Structure 1
Amino acid sequence: MSSVLAAFEMAGLLTGLENGTLTRAVVKDRGSDESALLGASLRYLTQRGLVEESGDAFTLTEYGRDVCRDKGYLVWLVGGYGEPLRRMDAFLSGEKRYGVDYPRDGRWVADGAAMLGRKDVVPHALRLLEGVEFDHAVDLGCGNARFLLTVCSRFGASGTGVDISPEACAEADKAVRAAGLTDKVRVVRGDAGDLSAIPSLGETQLMITFFLLHEILAQGRDALVAYLSDMAERLPQGARLLIAEVRPPAAGENRPWFTPEFTLVHALMRQTLLDAKGWSAALADGGFTVREVLEDDMPGGILILAERTR
């Protein structure tokens, strides 16, 4: 079911179920093979109680709408990590390695993260930024740049987005043009781990890292502290760092939906998750002082606003 719903979103069909524009005529108007498969998929979703026919249109049931509120998580997991998860047998046997033999799909990781973040992370992040003064923001691992565009529009700043995925950068460029912000926001394809190659850090008052620093941490805590120290040296005094991460489950904690999947995927990538106390200690060692920490609506999600003080 998760794979079918994710496929509908990735193919641009889920919106039709959400707003009632996916009709029998639309299904029949496709190629014969596509029409047959789409019809079979709709029957499957109907049998599972997620879709119903309303007049000539296929629409989501109340249960279907409830499930599809989490479509960003489904796209992130199925679209972004579907292939490596399908190859778990090769990883478990040691025959293959994640990232070398079967990497994730950068575009759908970015798009899924943007979708889930828009509902569960962004509103909290924007509240954290109220009262923070900045003229230029850099978003490391910007994905499709939706959050960077929101920040720049909301606070009247310019921005630079950096992402290593060519697919994510292509989507980000489209988003910048669609927002009419080509004069204020640019997207650079590059490795966010190489701060020396990122322009304008000396004039950047806000650095954004959403779900990036745990990838640096995968190289070890010393590597993370070295990375943060390098960042602190390049940023001006008083610059802010806005971090979004996922904390590990606490002992005995009843974890909500999707947190076990996050934990499994990070283990697959040999990445470690830190709690707020762990991040605060690493940031302090790297030259930053934590100003505020809050939990957002993402399962296990935390936001940290820190300031460069060294």
Structure 2
Amino acid sequence: MVIDLNTAARPAFDLFSGFSLCATLASLETAGLLAELAATGRLAPDSHGLGAPLLDYLAARGIVEECGDRHRFTPLGDAIRADIGYLVWLSRGYGLPMRSIAEFVTGARGTDDHAGRDGSGVAVGSALVGARDLVPQALDLLDGTRVTRVLDLGCGNARFLLEICRRFGATGTGVDEDSRACAEAEREISAAGAAGTVSVRQLDAGDLAALPGIAATDLVVTFFLLHEILAAGRAALVDHLRGLARRLPAGAHLLIAEVTPATTEPGQLFSPEFTLVHALMGQRLLDAPGWHAVLADAGFTVAREVRPTMPGALLMLARRAG
């Protein structure tokens, strides 16, 4: 008997292989093994003899190909690696909540239960995504803006903070509540030789009273942070931003990156999944007019905005009024 596995007739197999590839590649990327494979053609270290089966699997799925006694990435593999941050963000960051979705639906888990979210996976995945689809446009958006001291709220691995400080000759402080993200940021700062100008603090970015040096800051960066404060309600978000505005010097800027909510249009990339996982966390998203209204109520005016290449994302540069 011949079984027809034509994926046009049996689309579940696309999801089957997609899930496996997503989890495998995200895990290897997080451990630095994809970079090792790209550089050496091998997976090392291989303490349990899994290198050969893994390479066979990746070859079967068209990610790598044999080249003598080594392997190299195919064009498909290179294209996926260019967007690997999305896989890390989803699989490593939100893999457990997504696998527990029925527990949220039935009430066995509450939307305030974030224990399953891997903050480090979210931070690393976001940084990888941003390097291609956000950072170049964000830096362009800042051109012509006075930047001498930066405060990055929810800084993750601090790569964007480092890039801003390098480009503008500024000093900066990153804040993140996740200890693993802060440890990664410390390593990035040390590797960049920037310990004298950039630092990181493990703090709750929502606690304005604890944040260092706001009164001397002329640029605050909040990438994918404010929707977490919005989870407590629009009034809570406005109060938070209003409190931030009161503490900042006149003319200071706020650089925001958020993803707008998914629509009913077919074929959308990323934003439906982003909207769903944040619904699991009890968080809702705002569209562009919603952000304009919140910022205006809090004492900021939007100076410039742009849609970056990150699907569904919005970049806004707002200025403190007064």
Task: Give the alignment partner of residue 260 of structure 1, picking from 272, 275, 289.
Answer: 272
Distance in structure 1 (CA, Å) of the matches to 2:114 and 2:275: 21
Partner of 1:274: 286
Partner of 1:293: 305
User: What aligned pairs does 1:81-230 form with structure 2 within 5 A after superposition?
Assistant: 81-98=94-111, 100=113, 102-230=115-243
- Tell whether the 8 Å contact from 1:87 to 1:102 is kept in structure 2 after alignment: no
The offset of 1:101, in angstroms, is: 6.6
The offset of 1:116, in angstroms, is: 0.5
Structure 2 residue identity aligned to 1:93: T
The offset of 1:199, in angstroms, is: 1.1
Query: What do the CA deviations read for 1:187-210 (whole angstroms, capped 9, x no partner)?
Result: 011000001101110000000000
Residue 5 (structure 1) aligned with residue 25 (structure 2): yes
Structure 2 residue identity aligned to 1:22: G
Distance in structure 2 (CA, Å) of the matches to 1:236 and 1:243: 18
Partner of 2:321: 309
Specify the SS of the correspondent of 1:299: coil
- Tell whether the 8 Å contact from 2:208 to 2:243 is kept in structure 1 after alignment: yes
Percent sequence identity is 51
Query: What do the CA deviations read for 1:23-53 (whole angstroms, capped 9, x no partner)?
Result: 3xx55x632x2x2x23222211111111111
The offset of 1:140, in angstroms, is: 0.2
Query: Root-mean-square deviation (CA), in Å?
Result: 1.5
Specify whether residues 249 and 191 from structure 1 end up closer, same or farther in structure 2 by C-alpha distance, changes over 3 A only. Answer: same
Structure 2: give runs of 5+ residues left out of the alignment. 1-20
Structure 2 residue identity aligned to 1:7: S
Task: Give the alignment partner of residue 16 of structure 1, picking from 12, 24, 36.
Answer: 36
Specify the SS of the correspondent of 1:265: helix
Specify whether residues 301 and 4 from structure 1 end up closer, same or farther in structure 2 by C-alpha distance, changes over 3 A only. Answer: same
Aligned structure 1 segments of 4 or more residues deviating by more than 4 angstroms: none
Specify the SS of the correspondent of 1:138: strand
Distance in structure 1 (CA, Å) of the matches to 2:115 and 2:285: 22
Structure 1: give runs of 5+ residues left out of the alignment. none
Structure 1 residue identity aligned to 2:276: L
Task: Give the alignment partner of residue 236 of structure 1, picking from 249, 252, 260.
Answer: 249
TM-score, length of structure 2 as denominator length? 0.90
Q: How many residues align?
A: 302
Specify the SS of the correspondent of 1:274: coil
Structure 2 residue identity aligned to 1:108: G
Distance in structure 1 (CA, Å) of the matches to 2:182 and 2:34: 24
Residue 40 (structure 1) aligned with residue 53 (structure 2): yes
TM-score, length of structure 1 as denominator length? 0.94
